[in-house]
Structure 1
C-alpha cells in the first residue's frame, strides 16, 4: 500500500507520514517544494502536479490549501481525479467548528461522503501546539509580555495534541470509518486554566486576558494576521465563549486504542524538550 500525505512537511503531515511508515506503509509526501525521498512537488492550483502525486496511491491524507478562498474549488476536482486513479481511502483534516455541507471545507466533507469509496473527516478541536508555535499569535503574546488576549471569555475548549490527531489519521487511512469524528483531548479547559498550567510548567507568570471581539481582532492583526482571517478567528473565539467547544469525546480512544494526552502532559513535554535544546545550544556555544 502507498499513501500520499499532502502537507507532508507540516506539523500534522510529518507525524502522519512517520506513523504510516512505522506501520509498513509506503509513503509519498507532497508539498510545494522539492524534498528528498518519495516526494511529489504539489500545488493545488497547478493541476499538472496532481497526477504524478497520485500515481500508484491507494490512500490520501488531505490538508486544505492555506491560500485558497474556497478550498472546495480545487479539492473536489482533486478528489474526483484521485478516485478515478484508484484511491480507495481518504482522510480529510477539517475542524470541529465546520459542519458538513457548509461553504468551503464543509463542501469538501460532503463531496467525500458522496464520491469516496472509503473516507474519514477528522474534526479536531483547537491544537495544544498553538501555545508553543513561535508564529502563532497566542504564543507570540506569551513570549512578548506573558499575556494572551482572546475573546473566549470563560468558555472552555477540548484542546487536542497534534500527535493524537495524527494517530487517528493513520488508523483511519488504513481502515476508513466513513464518519466525521470530533477529536478532543481528555478535558475541556478555559484559557485562564491554560495560562495557569503554562505558568506551573514553565515557571513563568503567564496570564489570559479576556477582551472584546474587536480587541481580539485588532490584536491578531497587529501580529500580522490579515483582517478577514482575524475577523474569522475572533468570531470563533466568541463562539467558544458561548460554549461551542465545551465538550470532550472518546474518539481518540475508540479509534487508536489509547487515551488522548492531557494539556499538562503535552506542555511539560514541549517545555522540557525546548529547555534541553537551549541548554545544549548554550553548552555547545561556550
Structure 2
C-alpha cells in the first residue's frame, strides 16, 4: 500500500534509518529524511533536524502523518527532548509513531523507556521496536569491529551470557511494516535473530567464516565501565556496562517470532551476516 501522507524518518542516514528510508522509497512511499546535516537521500526530501534544536522541528513535521523515531545518540535522558517533540508532532497532525528502543529497556525504564511509556498516551497508532543487540555491532567503526581488526578480540563483561543478535535489515523490515500496515501494532515488539549466541559463539563464527582468529576476552563490570568512560560520560558508560552485566545474568537469552510474524520471513542468522558483511582474512 502507499500511504497518503509523508513519513518522517529521523536518523535517516544511520544504521536502521537509512534502511527504513530506502525500503519505504522502494515501496512507493513519500519520505522526509531527517538528520543533523540534511544529507541528500535519493528519492526522499532531506531536511535538517536536531533533537536538541526545537527550531528545526516544525519544518521536519510539516505534512507528515507518521514517523520513525531514532533517539538522540549517546543521550542518557532522551525523553527530555523527545517528549516535547512528540507533543508538538501530535499537534501538527502526526498520527502514527514508531520508536526504536532496546530489548534491554522496558516501558518506563531508564533512557528511552520513558519515551516508550508516553507513546500510547500521545498516539492512537504506535509501535515500539525493541531489538536485541545488532549484528552490525561487529562491522564498520564500532568498538567491537575496531577491536576485532586491531587485536583479534571482542571485549565484554557478558561472561557466558547469550544474546539473540539481530540484523538491522530485519529491524528495518519490521519498522516498515509497523509504519505502513493498515493496522498499527499498538504494542512493543522484541526483535531477535533466530537463536541466542554467546560472544564466544560470535568469535568462533567470525573465525570460521573469515579465517581470522578472533577470541572473546572476558572483562569485569568495572573494567568495561572504565574502558567506556574513557570515551563517553561516566553515567552512560555505567549504563552500558550494566547491560553487559544483565546479559551475563541471562536477561537477553531469548528469541522472538516478531520478525517472521510481521515480515513473513525468518530473521537472518549471524553466520549469513558475517558471510555478507565481513571480508575473508588474508
> TM above 0.5, one fold?
yes
Who is 1:88 aligned against? 95
Which of 146, 149, 152 matches 2:155?
149
Q: Distance in 2 between matches of 1:128 and 1:263?
A: 7
Who is 2:205 aligned against? 197
Q: Distance in 1 between matches of 2:112 and 2:6?
A: 25
Q: Distance in 2 between matches of 1:45 and 1:216?
A: 29
Q: How does 1:46-85 map to 2 (within 5 A)?
A: 46-85=53-92
Q: Distance in 2 between matches of 1:220 and 1:84?
A: 39
Q: Distance in 1 between matches of 2:246 and 2:235?
A: 17
Q: Distance in 2 between matches of 1:174 and 1:10?
A: 20
Who is 1:207 aligned against? 215
Find out whether 1:161 has 2:133 as its counterpart.
Answer: no
TM-aligned CA deviation for residue 225 of structure 1:
3.7
TM-aligned CA deviation for residue 35 of structure 1:
2.6
User: C-alpha root-mean-square deviation of aligned residues, in Å?
Assistant: 1.7
Q: Distance in 2 between matches of 1:43 and 1:54?
A: 12
Deviations 1:169-218 (A, max 9, x none): 00000132001010000010000000000001110110001121112223
Q: Distance in 2 between matches of 1:225 and 1:84?
A: 35
2:96–2:125 Cα contact (<8 Å) kept = yes
TM-aligned CA deviation for residue 141 of structure 1:
1.3
Moved more, 154-163 or 68-77: 68-77
Deviations 1:232-285 (A, max 9, x none): 11111111010000000000000111100000000100024xx6xx99xxxxxx
Find out whether 1:14 has 2:18 as its counterpart.
Answer: yes
Q: Distance in 2 between matches of 1:190 and 1:104?
A: 26
2:74–2:236 Cα contact (<8 Å) kept = no
Which of 131, 134, 159 matches 2:138?
131
Q: Distance in 1 between matches of 2:186 and 2:16?
A: 21
Who is 1:114 aligned against? 121
Q: Distance in 2 between matches of 1:218 and 1:158?
A: 26
TM-aligned CA deviation for residue 67 of structure 1:
4.5
TM-aligned CA deviation for residue 221 of structure 1:
4.0
TM-aligned CA deviation for residue 227 of structure 1:
2.9
Q: Distance in 1 between matches of 2:73 and 2:126?
A: 22
TM-aligned CA deviation for residue 105 of structure 1:
1.1
Moved more, 66-75 or 82-91: 66-75
TM-aligned CA deviation for residue 226 of structure 1:
3.6
Who is 1:218 aligned against? 226
- Number of positions where the alignment pairs a residue of Structure 1 with one of Structure 2: 273
Q: SS of 1:181's equivalent?
A: strand
TM-score (norm 1): 0.91
Q: Distance in 2 between matches of 1:229 and 1:133?
A: 22
Q: Distance in 2 between matches of 1:114 and 1:138?
A: 37
Q: Distance in 1 between matches of 2:12 and 2:262?
A: 22
Q: SS of 1:11's equivalent?
A: coil
Q: SS of 2:278's equivalent?
A: helix
Q: Distance in 1 between matches of 2:191 and 2:268?
A: 12
TM-score (norm 2): 0.92
Q: How does 1:178-257 map to 2 (within 5 A)?
A: 178-221=186-229, 224-257=231-264
Q: Distance in 1 between matches of 2:124 and 2:150?
A: 48
1:185–1:260 Cα contact (<8 Å) kept = yes
